[in-house]
Structure 1
Amino acid sequence: MQDMLADLREAQPVSSITSKKPLQTSGTTERKQARSLLLANAEKGSGGINTSNFSRDTGGSELAARQTVEVTSSIEALEAVEESSTGGGSGGAPGGRSLDEITRVMNANKNAVFNIYQRALRKNPLLRGTVVFRMTIAPDGSMTACEIVSSDLNDKRLERKLVLRVKRINFGAKNVEEITVNFPIEFLPP
């Protein structure tokens, strides 16, 4: 630090820098931009695109190639399970619980299930995935059994809480046989 200050002491005195010589402006003139040049080009077109340098494959009126993405739907999974499940559904016994009815009740209770997920998400922000519940619904609408068939969450504590909450859902009494369905729920952060 002292060496730097020593260099400053040896610098030129300020008086030599601040000489009182007047500014010299003789011989130079101000250049003005002609506005007429700007306005003259304003009405011109772009001149188009020179396509002579392009190959024959460029341009044209055809649609570009498209890419497709396969999406899995929980409705398809429910329909497949519903047809194979015992005693119900649109493909089962008459008067059974339909896929629409089960989906409607699960959607009505979605907030309570997702609140549990939101709390766990605060501790682990990377928590996401699909959980497939196997639910056995009694004729009185109560759930006699609920377990997780598969889960991408990899959080046993959260999965246990979700099972306990889903098991409390009541589907309403109906004169049907007991039915077992697999119901997937996808958990994604907002």
Structure 2
Amino acid sequence: MSAVAKEQEDIHSQIDYCQAQIHHYQDEIKHLGSELHSVDEKLTEFADEAQRYELITNIRENLEKLDEIGANELFWSGLVEEDQVGDQLQKLRDKAAFFERRIKKVNDKRFAILEQLNERQTAIEYLLEEIEYLREREEEAKHGYIIEREAKPQPYRAMVMPWTKKNEDEKKYRKVLFLTLLICILLGLWIPQLQLPIPDRTEVVEIPERLAKVIKKPEVPKPKPKPKPEEKKPEEPKKKDKEKKPTPEQRDKARKKVQNKGVLAFRNNLADLLEDTPEAKLGASASLSNKGSVAQSVKRNILTSQASSSSGGISTSSLSRDVAGTGEKIAAVAFSRVESDIGSAVAEDRPLSDGPGPSRTDEEIQIVFDKYKAALYRIYNRELRTNPTLQGKMVLRITIEPDGRVSFCQVESTDLDSPTLVEKIVDRVAKFNFGDKPGVPPVTILYPIDFLPAS
């Protein structure tokens, strides 16, 4: 028997076995189908009974509510004694539980039958795929044939690789190495024996005569004579008209015309800001003082702090726009200013807590955040390169130790859609140093940070 015929016989036997398994599973499916039908009939029989037990359950729940509020006599009056109400309710519970167990048992049996049916159907599908594969192999075996050849011994070839050691090359290498070492040794012994003559420093060294080169001075060109300027006739001075002084009525009209034009239109832009207390303080010790400085001359007065770092607050660089009049009349102009204890403070530091002992003030904490504000915005600007629309607010919970280091920092809340930015900001704030302040207890604060892209 050839190998092809033997392979075809094996394929036929496998196909017959798969078909027998399929018939067996089909018989089991029929048997399980009949069992499922009987179980469904039982469930339909329980349907009417289930409605009755459902009504009993609802009545029992209402009776239990009456029992809870102590109103059993509304229903049980004249039927049972007061102490037997609990027994009657328990009987109703037992009946409902018994019926639920019966229903559950039938449903469990139904689910088990459905699982067996699914298993048998899956097995039949697998066997059908196997039969399809075997028939494809049978078709390929019909067109196949075997090629038989006689095995001939292969000639021997020496396997010479680049890293294989060769005797002739090794001998040449050793000869060259020996000759090179011998020459180096001989030179090393002979060179130290050579003695150079010591130069005689008493000999006079002849210095050659220097060569001189004559350089002629360049001729300076004579200056050209300048033309004589023409004499201009003196102009006769014109008679000036006598200056007319404006009347008070003309001054009022001119003031009304220009009071809403040019720079004067912005003179009252900060009036409300100077009188109202800001809602979001940079520091709790920042205060509003109506005691202003008196100007001495007509010049721009820019309100700045005396310290090197700013505490933020209201920009007052435009207050000089409200200057009017002459230098002699401006000496009595005064205005409100926002002062901070970074420079010359007006109000005392307000502690963060009302307890005894020293504490860190809001202003001190704000100064440190202003110091590191540029570092935080550098991190934010790097994230803007990947997400130009990134903006939002972050609230940090920070614990500051007496030595100024941050022992705890986490995000309390944020609406920033960038976990990477949030993690970098938390890591950077955790490295802040608020300065050593002995005798201060650890302080835990909530600090908000707004991130908005530059317009």
Place the TM-score, normalised by the shorter chain, in its bin: 0.5 to 0.7
Number of the residue aligned with 1:117: 380
Deviation at 1:174, TM superposition (A): 0.4
Number of the residue aligned with 1:143: 406
Q: Which amino acid aligns with 2:421?
A: L
Q: Which amino acid aligns with 2:281?
A: I
CA gap 1:99/1:174 in 2 versus in 1, 3 angstroms: same
Q: Which amino acid aligns with 1:75?
A: K
Number of the residue aligned with 1:107: 370
Which of 415, 423, 436 is the equivalent residue of 1:160?
Answer: 423
CA gap 1:128/1:138 in 2 versus in 1, 3 angstroms: same
Query: What is the DSSP-based 3-state SS (H/G/I as helix, E as strand, rest coil) of the residue aligned with 1:164?
Result: helix
d(CA) in 2 for partners of 1:140 and 1:160? 24
- List per-residue Cα deviations over 1:43-88 (Å, max 9, x = no partner): xxxxxxxxxxxxxxxxxxxxxxxxxxxxx95539x86xxxxxxxx6
Does the aligned pair in 2 maintain the 1:131–1:150 contact within 8 Å? Answer: yes
**Which structure 2 residues correspond to residues 61-72 of structure 1 after superposition, within 5 A?**
none
State the number of aligned residues.
110
CA gap 1:135/1:128 in 2 versus in 1, 3 angstroms: same
Gaps of 5+ in 1: 1-71, 80-87
Which of 442, 446, 454 is the equivalent residue of 1:178?
Answer: 442
TM-score using structure 1 length: 0.54
1:94 aligns with 2:357: yes
Deviation at 1:92, TM superposition (A): 4.5
d(CA) in 1 for partners of 2:376 and 2:390? 15
CA gap 1:106/1:121 in 2 versus in 1, 3 angstroms: same
1:129 aligns with 2:392: yes
d(CA) in 1 for partners of 2:394 and 2:448? 6
CA gap 1:145/1:95 in 2 versus in 1, 3 angstroms: same
CA gap 1:108/1:92 in 2 versus in 1, 3 angstroms: farther
Number of the residue aligned with 1:37: none
Does the aligned pair in 2 maintain the 1:131–1:186 contact within 8 Å? Answer: yes
CA gap 1:74/1:122 in 2 versus in 1, 3 angstroms: farther
d(CA) in 1 for partners of 2:449 and 2:375? 13
Q: Which has more helix, going by share of residues?
A: 2
- List per-residue Cα deviations over 1:10-57 (Å, max 9, x = no partner): xxxxxxxxxxxxxxxxxxxxxxxxxxxxxxxxxxxxxxxxxxxxxxxx
d(CA) in 2 for partners of 1:74 and 1:185? 12
Does the aligned pair in 2 maintain the 1:132–1:184 contact within 8 Å? Answer: yes
d(CA) in 2 for partners of 1:146 and 1:93? 26
Deviation at 1:91, TM superposition (A): 3.9
Does the aligned pair in 2 maintain the 1:74–1:183 contact within 8 Å? Answer: no
Number of the residue aligned with 1:187: 451
Q: Which amino acid aligns with 1:181?
A: I
Number of the residue aligned with 1:48: none
Deviation at 1:147, TM superposition (A): 0.5
d(CA) in 2 for partners of 1:166 and 1:94? 27
Gaps of 5+ in 2: 1-277, 285-350
Query: What is the DSSP-based 3-state SS (H/G/I as helix, E as strand, rest coil) of the residue aligned with 1:75?
Result: coil
Give the number of the structure with larger relative contact order, counting CA–CA contacts within 8 Å between residues 6 or more apart.
Answer: 1
d(CA) in 1 for partners of 2:408 and 2:448? 16
Number of the residue aligned with 1:75: 281
d(CA) in 2 for partners of 1:165 and 1:94? 30
Q: Which amino acid aligns with 1:174?
A: K
